[in-house]
Chains A and B, each alone.
Chain A
Amino acid sequence: MKILTGNDLASGDVIWWAGDGWSRQVSDAVDVGTHGDDLARAEEAALRVVGAYVIDATLGEDGVRPAHIKDRIRAFGPTVRPDLIEQPTEADIGKWVI
């Protein structure tokens, strides 16, 4: 699947396109098919996102998983600061990233 990500213009937070708006959780990301680039342009013009780009991801038992480690770290947070991660309660989250 193709998903759309970027950073919230004002806060800089990593955000994921959830179909009807942006979410902080990659698990909310939806397949944007071939519309990702158009969506990115429109959302950037609407000042809701900066640096938007389309990435490959898979949808499996553990939810939406970006294909590249860089985007998994963006989804997760710095692997060396477990106190700052997005989903600190998930025991297996480290394996999900690597």
Chain B
Amino acid sequence: MKKNTNRTNFLLVMKKIALLTFLIILINNSIFSQRVTGLSGWNIFLDPGHSQDENMGVYGYSEAAKNLGVALQLRQMLLDWTDIDTVYMSRTNSTVVVSLSQRTDLANSLGADHYHSIHGDASSNPSSNSTLIMWGQLGIGGPEKTPYGGKKMSQIMVGLLTAGMRITTRGAMGDRDFYGVAGSTPYLYINRNTTMASELSEAGFHTNPTQNQLNMSDKWKRLEAKTMFWTILKYHNIPRPFAGTVVGIIKDIESGLAVNGAIATLNGQSDTTDTWESLFHKYSSDPNLLRNGFYYFEDIPAGTHQLQVTAPGFDPYTVDVTTVDTFFTFKDVNLISNAPPKVVSTDPLANDSLYPGIKNITINFSRPINKAMADSTIILTPDTTAIFTWTNGDQTLIINTTNFIFDTLYQITIKGTLEDKYGHLFDGNGDGTGGDDYNYYVKTKVKDMVPPSIIDLYPAFSATNVELKPIISISFDEPLKTSTISATVKIIRNSTQTNAAYIARYYSINGKSVLNYFITTPLAENETYTIKVLAGLQDAYGNATTNDFTSEFTTGNSNYLSQTIIDNFDSGIASWLQPTASGSTVGVIPGLTKATSVSSIFNLNTGSTKSMMFEYAYDENVADSVWLIREYRSVASPSFDNSNLLQAFVFGDGNNNKFRFCVHETTYSTNYEVSPWFDIYWIGWKLVSWDLSQGITGAWIGNGTLEPPFVFDSFQFSYVPGNVSAGTYYLDDLRIATFSPTDVKQEDIQVPNNFVLEQNYPNPFNPSTQIKFSIAKAVNVKLIVSDILGREVATLVNDNMSAGNYSISFDAKNISSGVYFYTLIADNFKQSHKMILMK
């Protein structure tokens, strides 16, 4: 009996504890998920804009899906947390297609109090990302429509939404002011045809890769919804319950990339950032492509709490977070990788050789290094005084080789006691555990006594039917002493022994070099020319060639004539997605594979002023040994057929990796055809052509048959195992062209006595005309086109040019009809002529 009494008491105590625990939970919930009052007698119609997967964003996640997710969460918040009469919605799933008229008709028939349309924005510029809220406005500069309320709601929402998303804003604006279209009624249909107060929110851009990876997250959509929830409370002057919402982005401190699968713990709650397995597999087959690093906690009480973050491959992180009641409590986290630092690459490669004083040793580490420890932990044998220079955020060490002696084996030892900036020991053998040494051997070359030799030539020896305006290319096996080039390299018309007119460029690439001669005045038809490299051309070490080199080629009567410019890259690369933004791109290192607009290297054959610099870094260890980069052009114009050449000027790096064109067959939305692969064996500029009329294709996701009309889809690249896996290309003047006879006649190549600017011909013209000019001596030349207000509309020449007679074509396809002036500025000479463009 005694025993039974004790058991009864024990059970009573346990029941009391359980009851107490339940009450504590109940109290907590009542504090943090309490219902607010004040919305009774009011309702709202939520309109998630668009339907199904309309307005597709980058990585295959649509604006319509984001809008629906936000609306569903906002509805639930209003129903769960307030005494609102009801929440209506224009759609609750991604299957129906709801027209604009149905959306407003439903809201109007229900007599809703307020209408809020949820949207996201789009741009051809992938960096664009901002908020915008638009209320119905009665004309540009006009007042708000009646019933009032949309403007007030917009003004509240734009502040909260922008601050919550932590992006910029275009503001809360009347829709007529934003669109700039005159009229007496609101511009947007939902503002114009609703019988209640209304507004439309644009929460960021689904064309922005970072934003759209966040949009995929249900938690991010909840953040957007919560800013709207708080907006509605503030609109009604209802005090907001304690905010208690802690959010942030978890990133790798070194790469800046968001971390997938990070586990954040706060006040007994846990949240894991999205992973490929949990979310991103829906949008990409590449497990490493997509990430957002977003975590989100609600119902966090006031006070200071410890936020703990763990993630595979990273040091654990702990920080105190004090919740604020004014808004979201933001706490971004930068995790530090726990991988020990190691050497990822060297130049020269291990056991390779270099020329001392000409080439330095470069060692790339996987992590930023504590460079203060370098002098004592990086040892050169034989002992040599060398200057260490750290770059790339202390991840790259450059060892100056000026004091190295020729024909000697050098050992560079990096001790296992070297640490990265975060205290991780150096991992010399790359086994994942720090503390061991790394030995790297480099041999210095025998002092170079050998002059440079030609390794590639365009046009090839004895080539015939060469185009009249080629890029003549002479490649060498080593860098040249540039001061010896102009006196030794000539391109001569045999019959007159006169020089061809050209602009020359020298490029040193990966231990080799190339001379590109951009012919400015078309070569004579059916003539033989000689490329001469005279004795005396020196390499970088002063070794001069002792024999003349000559190679002849013969022109035909044709030239490559541009029919349609797809992109000359002069306006930048806003029309192109970053390569990793395409779901087709696999097997690359994301941060090192990118496209950039540059004006340092571009094609001088066409009057271009910019090009696309394309840097690639293939992951040599990728699973399945599949490498593909799709550099996608997002503008679906112009359209073209299969009667001509698809061309691009490609500046190669000689790494022998692969390149091809891809076109989209617009009649068949899923058909994409590619050219055969081109091996980029060359260095410097080369015109690459895919003759569409031949019908020869490579294999991708088309049917192998060219079925016009086409629009250009992408440049594609791939890796050839065993080759150098990282490099840089430049791409310029993507176009449709023909190889056709030209009316341009060769001019008498004599060095003129004066500077002359001739009248263009034809004039008037449409759309192109020829401008001839003469240069009396080598000088910087500028030839510009300006409109009647003096605004420069084109720069045709801006370069150092040798003396000679020149002719340049001006293509005015992209400017409107009118009177224009072209002006030649050279030395003290300046002259203008008028020309008339009549379209």
Q: Say whether A and B bind each other.
A: no
